Amino acid sequence: MTRRPLRRTGLGLAPIAWLAIVLYGAFLLYPILQSVLTSLTDRNPLKTASNFVGLDNYAELFTDARLMESLRFTAIVVVVVTLVSNTLGLLFAMLLNRTSANYRIMRTLIFIPQVLSGVIVAFIWRSILTQNGLLNVTLQNLGLVDAPISWLGTPELATLSICTVVSWITIGFSTVVYTASLQSVPPELYEAARMDGASALGRFRNVTFPMIAPGVTISVVLCLITTFKLYDVIAVLTGGGPANSTRSTAFYLITVAFTNNRFGYASAIAIFLLVLTAVVAYGVTSLLRRREARI
């Protein structure tokens, strides 16, 4: 019995591409469009009808002192976390850039915080940073402090604690990105640099850092985007306190929407945050891409 040859439809991957486009539109473009339309109204879930207010919600953005405070806090966290996670991520990647099984296990362990839920990570760290938590108990047993430190009870220490926790989460991703970038560097370049008498620092400055430039761009930009929308860690660790000093813009957005029931104004904040994140990410990407072209 002879088998009939399969007929070629000529469609190729077109059905999968169309499916991806439909899903992209349904789960990204449509919600954004809906948010834009809602931001032009005074929608309140407690009211049956909403009124068109035009750009009033957007005008309110620039006179909202609490929004400005949340933007300032968000900027601090974004800058600190991006610098710390990328610096330590590159350092860990250079230390763990080996092929043995032990180093692969350590790379996996470093990446674990990245795959865990932010809520779970925040609950773990909250138990560590409380008055009677592991950190204070350890410091007191070592005689380094006489009384428990309120890591989450003062604005400065609460900000430091949030930056530490978020950096701990994002370091794993940066480490993986930099490890992949380091493994793509041809060994011949290092051999040539050694033959020219370059020191370890010279090899890093003239060979390693220029070759991993695309990895730097990816890691920095994705870290920026992730931190701009930070909410879950703050909600569990501090709840925006003390005295609303650790409210990120995303946290303030949720508060406006579900505590104040101002869906229209919250949508305006969401669109503003989306545009701000896109502009910053595009600007940083362009800057780093130009640096890649120079080197």
Alpha carbons 258 and 90: distance in angstroms, whole number: 40
CA distances (Å), origin 275, targets 22, 217, 262, 281: 23, 20, 20, 10
Distances (CA, A) of 225 to 136, 158, 230: 33, 22, 9
Q: Please check whether residue 35 lies inside any domain of the structure.
A: no
Give the per-residue pLDDT at 99: 77
- For residue 9, name the pLDDT band (cuts at 50, 70, 90): low
Residue range 125-163, pLDDT digits in tens: 999 999 888 999 999 998 888 889 999 999 999 999 999
Domain count, the chain: 1
> Domain for residue 25, yes or no?
no
| Maximum Cα–Cα distance across the chain | 88
Structure tokens at 28: 């990204």
Q: Which residues contact 89 (CB under 8 A, 6 or more apart)?
A: 170, 171, 172, 173, 174, 175, 177, 178, 219
For residue 53, how many other CB atoms are within 10 A of its CB?
A: 18
Q: Is residue 278 part of a domain?
A: yes
Least confident of 88-97, 197-206, 230-239: 197-206
CA 93 to chain centre: 19
The CATH number of residue 144's host domain is: 1.10.3720.10
Looking at residue 11, what is its pLDDT? Answer: 64
Q: What is the pTM of this model?
A: 0.88
pLDDT of 256 above 80:
yes
Would you say residue 12 lies in a domain? no
Domain extent at residue 151: 65-294
* pLDDT, tens only, 46-103: 888 889 999 999 999 999 999 999 999 999 999 999 999 999 999 999 988 887 888 8
Choice between 266 and 106, residue whose per-residue pLDDT is larger? 266
- Is 24 a domain residue? no
Query: Which contacts (CB < 8 Å, 24+ apart) does range 10-16 have?
Result: none
- Whether 172 is covered by a domain: the verdict is yes
The pLDDT of residue 197 is 81
Give the residue among 153, 32, 180 at the shortest CA–CA distance from 96.
180
Mean pLDDT of the chain: 89
